[in-house]
Amino acid sequence: MAGHVLTAAERFLDVNGVRLRVYDAGPPDAPLVILAHGFPELAFSWRHQIPVLAAAGYRVLAPDQRGYGGSSRPEQVEAYDITALTADLVGLIDAVGAERAAVVGHDWGAVVAWSTPLLHPDRVAAVAGLSVPPVPRPRTPPIEAFRRIFGDNFFYILHFQEAGIADAEMAADPRRSMLRMLGGMRVPEDEAAAVRMLAPGPEGLIDRLPEPRQLPDWLSAAELDHYAAEFGHTGFTGALNWYRNFDRNWRIMATPAAETISVPALFVGGTDDPVLNFTRIDRAGEVATGPYRQVMLDGAGHWIQQERPDEINAELLAFLSQVRWT
């Protein structure tokens, strides 16, 4: 992992019909923690958590999820639905001979994490989500709802629906795309920036995000180069295909194996995360009916486990210490 020394082995595991590149750390027979990254990220995004959790006595698996990095990138859009994504994590649990795991996700990985105990309730000992809270299933298909809400205005999730458009925009200059995503995705600082994010027009997400004057203090040039090199090799289509399953996922989640999340659950968000401008945190109790803790980090943005690693590590360690693994 560029710029970081980790006691983690890089492995390739064949699970659920795909091959996942996985960072594997910690004692082999220890309680299992799976770290699921978000968009557009990699297992590398957990570089500050992997060694800390392993040193605390947990076995840690952090995959490049399907569509990303060194893992398989199926061509079919439907191969990225929530059934496949949660089954990948269960496949990792099976691959190392464990019965259950604590699943921790960030961003899209949080969506997968929250969905796993609903679709596979017997395989999850605890669940934590960063930046995206558990939310109840909406009454109408999400894309239909977004089109009604935003109309002709720009909204990145709607922009991502059309195959090839955002893919080409982001792949044209992966370093610029990752710089603007990681360095520019915060609550808009002024009204003009907010208007630019919503204004109708042909510009895509990357062109609307501000160009950071310098790298954020939590991201080195070598780390940015690592992201850029990986996405320069893979492109962004696999990652964007996750977004193209919103309505399919809505249909799948109409009949989950469990109606609610009963295992211990933790949500950690940042007060400066723009995703929380349109994602409600006050309805978590409708989904997570077991022990639930919510933590908001003042001034933190969206890339919270990279921005504020010490606080995230402390929250995760405290949370995991209370989990009943058997």
CB atoms within 10 A of CB 193: 15
Q: Report the C-alpha gap between 88 and 112 in whole angstroms.
A: 10
CA atoms within 13 A on the CB side of 175: 9
Q: 316 with 55: CB under 8 angstroms?
A: no
Measure the CA angle with vertex 307, ends 46 and 233; round to 5°.
50
Q: 233 with 191: CB under 8 angstroms?
A: no
Spot the catalytic one: 48, 120, 226, 302: 302
Widest Cα–Cα separation across the chain: 54
What is the DSSP secondary structure assignment for residue 270, as one 8-state letter?
A: E
One-letter identity of residue 35: L
Spot the catalytic one: 107, 120, 226, 273: 107
**107 in catalytic set:** yes
Burial class of 162 by CB neighbour count within 10 A (0 to 12, 13 to 18, 19+): exposed
**37 in catalytic set:** no
- Residue carrying structure tokens 């009604």: 148
40 upstream amide cis, omega within 30 of 0: yes
Q: Report the C-alpha gap between 305 and 195 in whole angstroms.
A: 28
Coil/strand/helix, residue 128: strand
Q: 47 with 1: CB under 8 angstroms?
A: yes
By annotation, the residues acting in catalysis are 107, 302
